[in-house]
Amino acid sequence: MLIKDVMPSFELFQPTQLKDAFALLDRYGKDGWKMAGGYDSLSWFKERIKRPKAVIDLSGIAELKGVRETPDGIEIGALTTLTEIERNPVIKAKFRLLADAAGRVASPQIRNAGTIGGNASQDARCWYYRSGLPCYRAGGNTCFADTPEGVNREHALFDTDRCVAVSQSDTAPALVALDAKFVVKSSKGERVIGYEEFFIGPKIDITRLTSVKPEEILTSIRISNAWAGAHFYFEKVADRDTWDFPLVNVAAAIQVKNGVIETCRIACGGVSAVPRRLLAVEGIVKGKPMSADIAKIAGQSAPRGASPLNYNAFKIPLMASLVTRAVRDARA
Ligand SMILES: Cc1cc2nc3c(=O)[nH]c(=O)nc-3n(C[C@H](O)[C@H](O)[C@H](O)COP(=O)(O)OP(=O)(O)OC[C@H]3O[C@@H](n4cnc5c(N)ncnc54)[C@H](O)[C@@H]3O)c2cc1C
Ligand code: SF4
């Protein structure tokens, strides 16, 4: 029987300087675990499924926290809480999409401690994996969800490769739509990467959902003013209206001039292992008047190429409806 709520022991480190966190990550390698708000991390430990030797709690590192205005946009420390993001006046004024998405994560209690970095970096929620079964993602040689009996209504429609788990972060598609850049640092240096490089699917590495390596830390997220004040839309559909992961969500940033869509970025979560940017839809709507007709065409195009599993075909019309509403109802 699985013993729950009794964590295996580990060394706990609480550095206050980034350089000390890097030294610990270099020392422990794959045996080290970065912890931010702990809402994803602690459930792994309590289930006794992930058993790091050392937990490096990043919450005492002041430079990882807060929202700063920069000459060309904002820089958000990775340890900034989701509540702060939801309420920050600059984010609300310029990039409301991100505040709206952060405000739809889980519950107020989780948003008070959960961080933007942890939310974007969170692991797959597939219950087979979460219950400790030895599937592909856990290093085994099968997928329990993608079988005739597999319970897979939450799983992927696109780009599967052995694993059919999805990205269920609510902030991730908003960050894609806002063309955010992810600042990832280690003792060896820094890389600033776009969403295509930050979020990774099973074809690249089946054991993780981001490209952040054990010795690296996501230190901040940058958003440029290029999308400030655009028309925005975020919507998430979940089984329950609160405290629940998205079945599908959509985030759209649309620049409109004289009623015509000049340019846009639209992404959906809950449909593939990475937030899925809808490039074909963006191509269809660019240069067209923002209207119910073009929104309908956008929605119909959104799920093209989907390959549903046994129990998740309902996500196809759901995705179409969300994208239709995003293009029709996005507002400045
Ligand atoms: C009951 C419940 C409901 C939830 N509902 C939703 C929901 O509706 N929508 C949603 O989007 N999420 C939901 N979540 C997920 C939750 O919001 C995230 O797990 C949480 O926000 C993660 O943030 P954290 O700061 O607590 O991260 P942690 O748990 O500390 O870390 C999460 C992961 O990210 C890694 N990590 C954290 N910070 C960094 C960093 N700076 N650099 C590199 N790696 C890092 C950690 O190593 C770990 O693997 C829910 C969680 C629970 C428990
Ligand atoms: S979907 Fe992925 S995480 Fe879930 S059982 Fe299959 S391999 Fe494991």
pLDDT, tens digit (0-9, with 9 covering 90-100), for 263-305: 999 999 999 999 999 999 999 999 999 999 999 999 999 999 9
Task: Select from 107, 106, 112, 85 the least CA-distant residue to 96.
Answer: 85
Closest CA to 102 of 184, 178, 17: 178
Q: What pLDDT is attached to residue 221?
A: 98
- Ligand 1 lined by 251 (C-beta under 6 Å): no
Ligand 1 center–CA 36 separation, angstroms: 8
Q: Report whether residue 309 contacts ligand 2, using a CB cutoff of 6 Å.
A: no
Say how many Å lie between the CA of residue 110 and the centre of ligand 1.
Answer: 9
On the question of pLDDT at 235 being above 60, the answer is yes
Ligand 2 mean position, distance from CA 118 (Å): 21
CA atoms within 13 Å, Cβ hemisphere of 78:
26
The angle subtended at Cα 280 by Cα 276 and Cα 285, nearest 5°, is 115
Q: Which ligand is nearest to the CA of 112?
A: 1
DSSP assigned state of 9: P
Tell me what percent of the residues of the chain surpass a pLDDT of 70.
98
Nearest CA to ligand 1 atom 2: 106
In Å, the largest CA–CA distance within the chain is 64
Please give the pLDDT value at position 7.
Answer: 87
Quick one: pLDDT at residue 323?
98
Mean of pLDDT over the chain: 96
* Residue-level pLDDT at 200: 98
Residue 48 has pLDDT above 90, yes or no: no
Ligand 1 pocket check for 245: Cβ under 6 Å: yes
Band (328; pLDDT cuts 50, 70, 90): very high
Q: What is the pLDDT of residue 241?
A: 80
Ligand 1 pocket, mutate which of 7, 39, 220 (most atoms under 8 A from CB): 39
- Per-residue model confidence (pLDDT) at position 4: 63
* Closest approach atom of ligand 1 to CA 212: 43
Cβ neighbours of residue 170 closer than 8 Å, sequence gap 6 or more: 101, 102, 104, 105, 119, 234, 236, 246, 249, 269
Q: Residue range 16-29: average pLDDT?
A: 98
Count CB-CB contacts under 10 A for residue 79. 25
Does residue 212 register a pLDDT over 70? yes
Instruction: Give residue-wise pLDDT tens across range 116-140.
Output: 999 999 999 999 999 999 999 999 9
Nearest ligand for residue 154 CA: 2
Q: State phi, psi for 152 to the nearest 5 degrees.
A: -135, 35
Ligand nearest to the CA of 125: 2
Beta-ladder partners of 265: 253
DSSP states along 86-134: HH-HHHHHH-HHHHHHHTTSS-HHHHHH-BHHHHHHPPP--HHHHTT--
Tell me the two tokens of residue 38.
């702990």
Angle between helix 315-329 and 292-301 (nearest 10): 150
Predicted pLDDT at 5: 66
How many Å lie between the centroid of ligand 2 and the Cα of residue 150? 10
| This model's pTM is above 0.95 | yes
Ligand 1 centroid to residue 183 C-alpha, Å: 18
Give the mean model confidence (pLDDT) for residues 4-19.
Answer: 91
Closest CA relative to residue 78, chosen from 39, 119, 43, 108: 119
Structure confidence at residue 2 (pLDDT): 55
Closest by Cα among 164, 172, 179 to 271:
164
**pLDDT for 266:** 98
Ligand 1: which residue has its CA nearest to atom 17? Answer: 119
Nearest of 69, 48, 50, 67 to residue 3 by alpha carbon: 48
Which numbered ligand comes closest to the C-alpha of 137? 2
Check if 209 has its Cβ closer than 6 Å to any atom of ligand 2: no
Assess whether pLDDT exceeds 80 at residue 258.
yes
How high is the pLDDT of residue 31?
97
